[in-house]
Amino acid sequence: MDITRVRALRGPNVWSRHTAIEAVVTCDEDERDLDRLPGVERALTRLLPDLPPLRSAPGGPASLAVALARTAFELQRRAGCDVVFHGERPTRTPGVSRIVVEYTHEAVGQLALELAAGLLQALRAGEDGDALAAIGRLRELDEDVRLGPSTGAIVSAAVARGIPYRRLTDGSLVQFGWGMHQRRIQAAEIDDTSAIAESIAQDKELTKTLLDAIGVPVPAGRSVTDVEDAWQVMRSLGAPAVVKPRDGSQGRGVTVNVETREGLEAAWAAATAISDDVIVERCIPGDDWRLLVVHHRLVAAARREPPMVISDGERTVRQLVDEVNRDPRRGDGHATPLTRIRLDPIALARLASQGLDADSVPEPGRRVVLRNNANLSTGGTATDVTDEVHPEVAARAVEAARMVGLDICGVDMVCRSIARPLEAQGGAVVEVNAAPGLRMHLAPSYGKPRPLGEAIVDRLYPAGEDGRIPVVAVTGTNGKTTTVRLIAHLIAQTGLTVGVTDTNGVTVGSVRTDSGDCSGPKSARNVLMHPDVEAAVFETARGGILREGLGFDRCRVGVVTNIGEGDHLGLNHVETAEEVAEVKSVVVQNVAPDGMAVLNGEDPLCVAMAERCPGAVTVFGFDETHPVLAGHRAAGRRVVFRRGGQIVAAQREREVRIALDQVPLTRGGAIAFQVANTMAAVAAAWAIGLDWDGVRRGLRSFASDAATVPGRFNLFAYRGATVIADYGHNPDAIRALVQAVGTLPGARRSVVISGAGDRRDEDLRAQTRILGDAFDDVILYQDAAQRGRADGEVVGLLREGLAGARRTTRIDEVRGEFAAIDLALGRLTPGDLCLVLVDQVRDALDHLVQRVARAHDAAGSDAADRGTG
Amino acid sequence: MNAPGDIRILEIRTLRGPNRWTYRPVLEALVDIGELEEWPSNRLPGFNERLQAWLPSLVEHRCSYGERGGLVRRLAEGTWPAHILEHVTLELQNLAGMPGGFGKARETSRRARYKVIVRAWHEAVTRRALHAGRDLMMAAIEDRPYDVDGTLAELRRMVDRLCLGPSTACITDAADDRDIPAIRLNDGNLVQLGYGTRQRRIWTAETDRTSAIAEGISRDKDLTKQLLAAVGVPVPEGEYVRSAVEAREVAESLGYPVVVKPYDGNHGRGVFTNVLSGDEVEQAYAVAIDEGSGVLVERFVRGNEHRLLVVAGRLVAAARGDVATVCGDGRSTIEQLIERQLNSDPRRGRTEDAPLNPVRLDAAARLELARQGLDGGSVLPEGRRVLIQRNGNVAIDCTDEVHPDTAALVALASRTVGLDIAGIDLVVEDVSRPLGEQGGAVVEVNAGPGLLMHLKPAEGTPRPVGEAIVEHLFPSGDTGRIPIVGITGHRGTTAVARQVAHLLRRSGRRTGVASGDGLLVDGRRVRELDGAHWDTAHQVLLNRTIEAAVIENGPRAIAEEGLAYDRCLVGVVTSLDPAATLDDLCIDDADGLWGVLRTQIDVVLSEGASVLNADDAPVADMARLSDGQVILYGRIADSEVLAAHRANGRRAVIARGDDVLLAIGAETSMLAGLLAGRDPDAVLPAIATGWAIGFTPEALREGIESFDAAAQPRAAEPTAQTAAVH
């Protein structure tokens, strides 16, 4: 079994909406049918008990590839990952298939595939495999990379509200929303958590001063300079004291109930180990309570208890601790509601202070406390008490949070009862925490869990907001770029900053932020990251969909311009137009339920996508009587079509008309493929809800030139002749160009063309076959990249297409694109027409623009000469 | 000569806010000059000469004559030690780097006893300056040596250690210019601007809007770069490396030159730019790894370092790095040339406010020299110029040169990281041209950037960055103030405070009260002790939940502590009792008391109002001090004072029987029967105050009528166990 081309599909893809690992698996003769390897399947079932049958149909063959997908899936599932999907699909090549396995975290998915492959190779070789070890490794990795409980709870709450999210690091930094609606969190910290407020919370003394100023009770005490000073303060307090470092966290270096000089010395040592700055405070009697405030409201409260055991008078402390740790809720990290109690030096020191050691057997019923602080991470427990908090106590917590300036804040209190005002019982606020842990409230050891993720998400996004911006995804065989640009232009008319990706680059508003082919998911994700973007239009090419999936989870509008005969056939196991449609339909399948697909109603492969669209569908086409258009309209749905000199957007009886003579892109409606692009754009604008006057204005002002839409029917005037540059490179595009060029005047017609080496032979021949009936001169050139073809092979195929041409009378072969352009231009006389099918779009256009400008200057100076002469 | 006497400082009082002397905090020293009372300066032989030799800048003091040299003239004519002490103290503060300011010396009613009042920018520094001034003067009188330089050095150290840093100070100064009050919250640079719920906080160049997450992102250079690259801000591509060998590999894949630098280091330590070979990469790695938790290798971006300051999405200042070179003279070593040609520049110093650092031959500089085949001991031929330090202090202003596209890009960078104030480090050859065409790049985004380079550039125009930050926190017109009602007088002030607080609370404002009733937060009494003092009032102003404040100030509290607020919306003075002198404070007559109580009226804002008792002539006379309107109140309806006031069309609140008249000039409206069973001394000023704040007559009536026992502060819960030990 050979595994090649392993890919992470990071967004919705041809298999499903789930993130997944995809691989191409080649099996040898034996591996294609597990019945020929009976030992393997038996061993696998032994390693993974309750493994569901590998065959989809009983008795049908199952290959080792199927076993691989299933094993990688089962390993993840058994490691605790929340996965539901895996699959296998044969290719046309016997023994080669593609498999896919969902993952929740890419690294875990990759490792699962690797481990599964190793396991199966071992079984195939008749060796033993260790599935438990594999599951253990996966579990460990998953715990490392998965979101912590606080972050996880917030993300889940966001997902439930339909808010998109994206992790920015391997840690807990997460971004919600898109473009200008983006927000960030890091555990229970949000992007408007103030850095200053955090610094204040870190400084216990300053916090105390501020809280004291506003009448929130705090423990008496102060910062001390040395042991002697500490002793002075202790005596003035006249009660047991707490000694703690000024800057510390998680209770490190804190000693409570210090009563004697000796106790103070020890406490001093513990505190100075953490910080030079030490505070001595009155010990407040009572329990530890944590109150969680979110945006001026108490949302949860818990009583926290330090790790402890209660003696039965028979077992040692160590045995009692072991007993407690057997509780399945106790784990080693943050993933479980409770953490195991450790008998580490701190615990042993705490035992010693009670006159005990790990092997002592305390008297029955005695509570043996193993740590001073009640943090869950060191084995403490938490009990939900949210419903018991006295309103005055809640008010103090909220005031404390506001005074420090924290919008999400954990307020630590010590008092006997949370159901009575602090002032009545000498209780106090002892600490204020930024980025408080939520685990004790989300999954308290005892009592009711509190939906804090929801509370925090509500703080980030008021009800009804989902952090999304309108996203339009455009795919299809031809016309994508023009349609993308036109839709972006229409949206920009409304004053929004639009992010656009296409095969020429990325623009945000009027600024180009990237260049090159940006029609993949990475560029789309980058646009959604941009803090200024208010709407996005993405050209969504099939390469990116196959390679990585979509760059977004769903779009408001999905446009498929056409499929036609398809393009790039034969690449990546995509052989037919139907298979192209399959890939491109991913866009339609991921239209939001309240969104809209815009489909070419006269293209059967487009129309077929409609049934898989979760949202509504608009169809467009030239002929309103076409059965698809007529039927769609009859069903009360939206259609856009051409009627004479107008584009009509219609639903039921209502019709909105746009005069084509007001759409320069279409040259008054003469260029059919631009009319089609305009109809698609109009349908998309309608779907977003743009107003019609704005749409008309936008259509009127849209310029389709080499600067705006390079390589898309760019027209030049050259010495009285017409030159058109276009990137068209498949039979559909060329047919459309021939139609369009046919509407333009031109005595003698010439065309410049090359072919890409990665196209199929018949596609290359088809291109020139179409051209041969419409052009007098054909200039063939060999392009820069031959993509695996022998020298002259492509030109040869193009020449074959011209055999029997009805119009072509002259054929030239040239090496290099510039030379071909120069040759064509050199032959032009006024009134001629020349179509240049550009290959290296940017360079060729620059060359053309320069040539045209030079000709123009020359003409100008000729005129000037005549003027003076 | 024999000492004719001694200057003794008997006590020093800190007036922490507006006081009877001035609007600003001062120290008030009671000084006994003993026999020197007989010895004005012109009679002390050699004193004036010695004093002016030690402190020649005293010539700048314009005292008495309102012109330069004024004080010197007074010294020559003869003036007394307390007055001189005032000037010497101010000058010592001035020379120690504190702004100048207010000073005064006043006789008391006891012979040879004076009050010396000096502006206190920082209490401890001013206290030290006062004592030093006394010692200096005695040395000058007694013709003993005095270590002026040592004293100044000590004071400067205190200023550096105790006063606000330059970045913070420029923000608070800008706030002050906008009439926004500032309260320092700790010994460091944490400052509250504005009061109560309208307050904002700053901590050096961070604001309370500076996001902790954004700050964390800015510290993670790798993540910052990823985010910037995603939105199209050019950054140097590079990688995190874990070993010298890996550093070399990455450098080779990026192509030389490269930059090697610590992953999370600071202040440019261990940063190697323009590294040209694998060996150099490995050397640089070894140094960089000690400065942070890892090492980055990046494409070297050719050009100079620039720092661009973005505040609230707008570029407000830019500075360029100082490139240090020396030029050989055929005799001196490079080390000598550095000292002579570079470090002799007075702008180079080690203190925080020096615009340029001294040039040191650190590891980076030595590497730079070694590359040219030189070291610190090399003697350069005459005329040969050698680069010592490529990126020294970024201190040369270039704000006006920044290309607009670049300004937009750095603003985008700060938004992308999420910082409201960011210092963007940009490397580019020519900042006036777009980045793309020259391969320039943003190399770092800094939270809490230092502002000094823009305030005191080594070259070019200082930029108003403090103003920009204040504008960001307080858009035009917002002064961060809440309505404050200040009440003083010898009678009935606590009762007035209660009434006013009740009115404010009824209008829906969360009201803080510091009064004889203690400290009350929205009706809850959180402290029972007499709260008519600076401390309690201060606590009200700190409270971020408070929307309006009522502050009672006892006359003694004003005299001993000053007011806790700089300005107030309404100032109320109820009465002046000439018998209530404060003899221990040398305030021993009615004039003195008047001088204390007027402080309340001095601080009334121009958009506010003074509320004065028309029946108490000296109080009514304070009307002329008010920047704002004046509303008089009185029980003697036909008094001359009220008549004159109303004749000018002004407002008055007058008791007539049980009715209350609201008069504007001759026009009146009546709140009938409102005084029945109520104390007019509390109700009248409360109505006047409410009227000044803008309550309608109906709201006033309702407010007064609803004031009853239930509206009184709840009994405090026991707090003894939780009061902080101070």
Predicted local distance difference test score (pLDDT) of residue A139: 94
- B232's CB contacts (< 8 A; 6+ apart) are A506, A508, A511, A512, A513, A514, A526, A530, B412
Tens of pLDDT, residue by residue over A622-672, are 999 999 999 999 999 999 999 999 999 999 999 999 999 999 999 899 899
Predicted local distance difference test score (pLDDT) of residue A804: 84
Tens of pLDDT, residue by residue over B565-602, are 999 999 999 999 999 999 999 899 999 999 999 999 99
Predicted local distance difference test score (pLDDT) of residue A250: 61
Cα–Cα distance between A599 and A608 in angstroms, integer?
Answer: 9
Tens of pLDDT, residue by residue over A695-709, are 999 999 998 788 888
Contact list, A197 vs chain B (CB under 8 Å): 208, 212
Cα–Cα distance between A518 and B81 in angstroms, integer?
Answer: 81
Contact list, B227 vs chain A (CB under 8 Å): 168, 529
pLDDT surpasses 70 at A551: yes
Secondary structure letter of residue B203 according to DSSP:
E
Both tokens of B217, joined, read: 């992102």
Tens of pLDDT, residue by residue over B205-264, are 999 999 999 999 999 988 999 999 999 999 998 888 989 999 999 999 888 889 898 877
Encode burial over A782-816: b for 16+ CB neighbours within 10 A, e otherwise: bbeebeebeeebbbbbbbebbeebeebeebeebee
Task: Give the mean model confidence (pLDDT) for residues B606-615.
Answer: 97
With cut-offs at 50, 70 and 90, classify the pLDDT of residue A244.
Answer: confident
Widest Cα–Cα separation across chain A:
123
Cα–Cα distance between B638 and B644 in angstroms, integer?
Answer: 10
Tens of pLDDT, residue by residue over B665-679, are 999 999 999 999 899
Residue A257 region by backbone torsions, left for phi larger than 0, else alpha for psi between -120 and 50, else beta: left
Q: Which of A193, A214, A217 sits opposite B211 (nearest CB)?
A: A193
Q: Of the candidates B564, B563, B549, which has an alpha carbon nearest to the alpha carbon of residue B596? A: B563
pLDDT surpasses 60 at B711: no
Cα–Cα distance between A703 and A718 in angstroms, integer?
Answer: 19
Predicted local distance difference test score (pLDDT) of residue A750: 93
> Residues 355..374 of B with a Cβ closer than 8 Å to A: which?
none
Phi, psi of B639 (to 5 degrees): -65, 150
* Residue A542, min C-alpha distance to chain B (Å): 22
Edge to edge, what strands does the sheet with B548-552 contain? B524-527, B518-521, B511-515, B548-552, B484-488, B568-573, B604-613, B629-634, B651-656, B659-664, B667-671
- B212 with A221: Cβ contact below 8 A: no
Cα–Cα distance between A737 and B297 in angstroms, integer?
Answer: 50
Cα–Cα distance between B614 and B654 in angstroms, integer?
Answer: 9
Q: Which of A399, A423, A514 sits opposite B717 (nearest CB)?
A: A423
Both tokens of B182, joined, read: 């500032």
* Residue A100, min C-alpha distance to chain B (Å): 29
Task: Give the mean model confidence (pLDDT) for residues A235-257.
Answer: 80
Peptide bond into A12 cis (omega under 30): no
ipTM comes to 0.87
Tens of pLDDT, residue by residue over A728-756, are 888 888 998 999 888 888 889 999 998 77
Most confident listed range (A83-92, B1-10, B270-279): A83-92
Contact list, A400 vs chain B (CB under 8 Å): none
DSSP secondary structure, B358-378, as one string = PP---HHHHHHHHHTT--TTP
End-to-end CA distance of chain B: 48
Cα–Cα distance between B557 and B427 in angstroms, integer?
Answer: 57
pLDDT surpasses 80 at A129: yes
pLDDT surpasses 70 at A860: no
Cα–Cα distance between A280 and A268 in angstroms, integer?
Answer: 9
- B582's CB contacts (< 8 A; 6+ apart) are B555, B556, B559, B588, B592, B593, B596
| Percent of chain B's residues with pLDDT above 90 | 70
Q: Are B208 and A405 in contact, with CB atoms under 8 Å apart? A: yes
With cut-offs at 50, 70 and 90, classify the pLDDT of residue A285.
Answer: confident
Mean pLDDT of chain B: 91
Contact list, A402 vs chain B (CB under 8 Å): 544-545
B521 at interface of A, judged by CB pairs closer than 8 A: yes
Widest Cα–Cα separation across chain B:
101
Contact list, B208 vs chain A (CB under 8 Å): 194, 196-197, 405
pLDDT surpasses 90 at B75: yes
- What residues form DSSP beta bridges with B396? B320, B459
B222 at interface of A, judged by CB pairs closer than 8 A: no
Q: Which of A200-214, A596-610, B649-663, B701-715 has the lowest mean pLDDT?
A: B701-715
Both tokens of A143, joined, read: 């715990």
Q: Are A397 and B689 in contact, with CB atoms under 8 Å apart? A: no
B221 at interface of A, judged by CB pairs closer than 8 A: no
| A640 against A374, higher pLDDT | A640
| Percent of chain A's residues with pLDDT above 90 | 59
- B231 with A169: Cβ contact below 8 A: no
B212 at interface of A, judged by CB pairs closer than 8 A: yes
Q: How many CA atoms lie within 13 A of A810 on its CB side?
A: 11
- B208 with A402: Cβ contact below 8 A: no
In B, minimum Cα distance to A216 occurs at B526
pLDDT surpasses 80 at B712: no
Contact list, B527 vs chain A (CB under 8 Å): 215
**Looking up tokens 């404050």, which residue turns up?**
B484
- B718 with A426: Cβ contact below 8 A: yes
**Per-residue CA distances from A491 to A497, B78, B100 (Å):** 8, 82, 59
- B210 with A200: Cβ contact below 8 A: no
- A168 with B213: Cβ contact below 8 A: no
Contact list, A508 vs chain B (CB under 8 Å): 231-232
Task: Give the mean model confidence (pLDDT) for residues A288-303.
Answer: 96
* Residue B440, min C-alpha distance to chain A (Å): 15
Predicted local distance difference test score (pLDDT) of residue B725: 38
B537 at interface of A, judged by CB pairs closer than 8 A: no
Predicted local distance difference test score (pLDDT) of residue B353: 66
Q: Are B121 and B181 in contact, with CB atoms under 8 Å apart? A: no
With cut-offs at 50, 70 and 90, classify the pLDDT of residue B3.
Answer: low
* Residue B323, min C-alpha distance to chain A (Å): 32
Residue of A180, A191, A196, A283 best to disrupt the B interface, most CBs of B under 10 A: A196
Predicted local distance difference test score (pLDDT) of residue A90: 87
- A548's CB contacts (< 8 A; 6+ apart) are A7, A8, A9, A10, A11, A13, A520, A521, A522
- B231 with A513: Cβ contact below 8 A: yes
B214 at interface of A, judged by CB pairs closer than 8 A: yes
- What residues form DSSP beta bridges with A722? A717, A833
In A, minimum Cα distance to B511 occurs at A214
With cut-offs at 50, 70 and 90, classify the pLDDT of residue A869.
Answer: very low
- B213 with A184: Cβ contact below 8 A: yes
Predicted local distance difference test score (pLDDT) of residue B239: 86
Contact list, A229 vs chain B (CB under 8 Å): none
- B232 with A512: Cβ contact below 8 A: yes
Q: Which of A222, A237, A508 sits opposite B232 (nearest CB)?
A: A508
Both tokens of A377, joined, read: 């991470």
With cut-offs at 50, 70 and 90, classify the pLDDT of residue B722.
Answer: very low
Task: Give the mean model confidence (pLDDT) for residues B413-442.
Answer: 94
With cut-offs at 50, 70 and 90, classify the pLDDT of residue B718.
Answer: very low
DSSP secondary structure, A524-551, as one string = HHHHHH-TT-SEEEEE--HHHHHHH--S
B78 at interface of A, judged by CB pairs closer than 8 A: no
Q: Of the candidates A145, A142, A70, which has an alpha carbon nearest to the alpha carbon of residue A102? A: A70
B718 at interface of A, judged by CB pairs closer than 8 A: yes
pLDDT surpasses 60 at B360: yes
B223 at interface of A, judged by CB pairs closer than 8 A: yes
Judged on CB neighbours under 10 Å (0-12, 13-18, 19+), B358 is middle
Predicted local distance difference test score (pLDDT) of residue B719: 39
Predicted local distance difference test score (pLDDT) of residue B528: 86
Cα–Cα distance between A730 and A478 in angstroms, integer?
Answer: 9
Q: Which of A410-419, B309-318, B373-382 has the lowest mean pLDDT?
A: B373-382
* Residue B207, min C-alpha distance to chain A (Å): 7
Cα–Cα distance between A211 and A200 in angstroms, integer?
Answer: 11
Q: Of the candidates B227, B234, B312, which has an alpha carbon nearest to the alpha carbon of residue A511? A: B234
Q: Which of A757-761, B193-197, B343-347 has the lowest mean pLDDT?
A: A757-761
pLDDT surpasses 70 at B267: no
- B201 with A196: Cβ contact below 8 A: yes
- B719's CB contacts (< 8 A; 6+ apart) are A217, A423, B526, B527, B528
Predicted local distance difference test score (pLDDT) of residue B19: 95
Task: Give the mean model confidence (pLDDT) for residues A245-265.
Answer: 81
Both tokens of B715, joined, read: 């009994």
| Percent of chain A's residues with pLDDT above 70 | 96
Predicted local distance difference test score (pLDDT) of residue A526: 96
Both tokens of A701, joined, read: 């002002």
Task: Give the mean model confidence (pLDDT) for residues A65-80.
Answer: 94
Contact list, A220 vs chain B (CB under 8 Å): 721-725
Contact list, A506 vs chain B (CB under 8 Å): 232
Predicted local distance difference test score (pLDDT) of residue A199: 94
pLDDT surpasses 50 at B283: yes
